[in-house]
């Protein structure tokens, strides 16, 4: 499939929020980073997420409903930004990641940011794409005024996040239903 330019897509947020330098770096590998687009269901968005965890295909209509909810959130206090890396060769997604802004009452109504759902297709891991995703999401959250950017991960991924400039802080706890 020929590569689809950003101008031909319905993007979930303004692509200018992603540093142009990241695309300059990815261009030499025939890759492109951009916001999630409304047609990315057909570019394998669910397939890429399967590198992270078990996912069920919700079907295009329900995927599109979720896309619209997230795209509309960028005008509210609690914003979601989903970033993807596309292969220019196949026009398929090879990586994705999310950052969302949590509005607070403290620190003069500041926001904290949370990075979630980082996934690089298993055939593309170890080529620096994860690092590019984290750089894009961290830049985005800081540009949106977040005073801190948080994430949780398993022990195996700590060295990766250390390489991205993140450090272990506190203890993460969870209660699954
Ligand atoms: C974890 C993941 C996002 C890393 O992405 P990636 O594209 O493979 O990693 P990168 O190539 O960008 O690696 C960046 C740096 O981290 C290092 N690194 C990556 N994973 C590592 C690991 N598990 N242990 C030690 N170092 C690691 C790389 O060697 C590289 O170091 P360098 O900058 O000195 O060259 C990716 O492997 C992935 O999607 N895994 C499955 C899903 C997952 O676990 N997601 C994270 C959930 S918290």
pLDDT tens-digit series, residues 105-115: 999 999 999 99
The confidence score (pLDDT) of residue 131 equals 98
Average of pLDDT values for 21-37? 97
The confidence score (pLDDT) of residue 158 equals 97
pLDDT grade for 133, boundaries at 50, 70 and 90: very high
* pTM of the model as a whole: 0.96
- 97 CA distance to ligand 1 centroid (A)? 13
In this structure, the strands spanning 80-87 and 31-35 are: antiparallel
Determine the Cα–Cα distance for residues 139 and 168; give it in Å rounded to an integer.
19
- 95 CA distance to ligand 1 centroid (A)? 12
Which residue, by CA, sits nearest to atom 16 of ligand 1?
A: 160
CATH superfamily entry for domain 6-163: Gcn5-related N-acetyltransferase (GNAT) (3.40.630.30)
Residue 158 is given by DSSP the state H
Q: Which residues, 6+ apart, have CB-to-CB distance to 12 below 8 Å?
A: 35, 36, 37, 38, 67, 70, 71, 74, 81, 82
């Amino acid at each position: 499939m020929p590569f689809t330019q950003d101008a031909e897509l319905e993007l979930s947020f303004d692509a200018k929020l992603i540093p142009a330098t990241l695309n300059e770096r990815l261009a030499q590998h025939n890759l492109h980073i951009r916001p999630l687009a409304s047609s990315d269901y057909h570019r394998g968005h669910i397939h890429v997420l399967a590198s992270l965890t078990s996912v069920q295909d919700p079907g295009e209509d329900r995927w599109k409903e979720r896309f619209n909810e997230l795209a509309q959130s960028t005008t509210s206090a609690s914003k979601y930004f989903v970033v993807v890396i596309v292969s220019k060769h196949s026009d398929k997604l090879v990586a994705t990641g999310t950052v969302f802004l949590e509005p607070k009452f403290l620190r003069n109504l500041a926001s904290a940011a949370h990075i979630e759902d980082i996934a690089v297709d298993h055939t593309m891991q170890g080529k620096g794409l994860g690092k590019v995703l984290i750089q894009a999401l961290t830049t985005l959250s800081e540009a949106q005024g977040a005073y801190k950017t948080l994430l949780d991960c398993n022990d195996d991924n700590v060295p990766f996040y250390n390489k991205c400039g993140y450090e272990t802080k506190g203890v993460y706890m969870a209660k699954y239903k």
